[in-house]
Amino acid sequence: MRFLSVRSIQISCVFLLLFASPASAATRLPLSVPIHFGKDSIVELSAELARYRSYRIDVVFLFQDERQRVFAKEVAGEPVSICKASSECGEVSSFIVTIKAGTRIVLKEEKKVFGSYGFSANQFYRNILVVPLKPGSYTITVEPTEFTEKLTNTRAAIELSTDARASDLEQ
């Protein structure tokens, strides 16, 4: 009997490791890399994605105190849905986004972005692109092509994320 219980524990541990391994191989999101406008010509993110869903590529404006929050909000602008009416779309910027799976280019697109879509306790979010990606290894490069002088003085990052509450896409 003792042999049977030790053996079943060993088998259970092996199965647990097998099921846990693929999940731990996936990149934890959100994945963020700092960007310094005027200094960084390209920012690169590498991600192992485990789910087929829509992923967001955002530029995130960071702040630590009230003074920086006011500046970051000015740079990010009002929400996209109302910023044009109020003429407060923030500092307009453009990016070339390239997504590769190995050597194959999945997407290459230039986007001009303005306004914000959300905020948290220490950052404002501006969406660059939403793209559906299947499970796999990806290299994402983001190249700022147009930005104002004000952005060179802004703490910012490029972030890859997905909505954990969203359903997976059908294949």
What number of CA atoms fall less than 13 Å from residue 113's CA on the CB side?
27
Q: How far apart are CA 146 and CA 169, in angstroms?
A: 33
pLDDT at 5: 59
pLDDT at 6: 55
| Spans of the chain below 50 pLDDT | 1, 3, 15-18, 20-24
Q: How far apart are CA 53 and CA 20, in angstroms?
A: 21
Q: How far apart are CA 91 and CA 39, in angstroms?
A: 17
pLDDT tens for each residue of 32-70: 999 999 999 999 999 999 999 999 999 999 999 999 999
pLDDT at 166: 83
Strand 31-35 to 123-133 pairing: unpaired
pLDDT at 20: 47
Q: What CATH number has the domain spanning 26-161?
A: 2.60.120.790
Contacts of 121 (CB under 8 A, 6+ apart): none
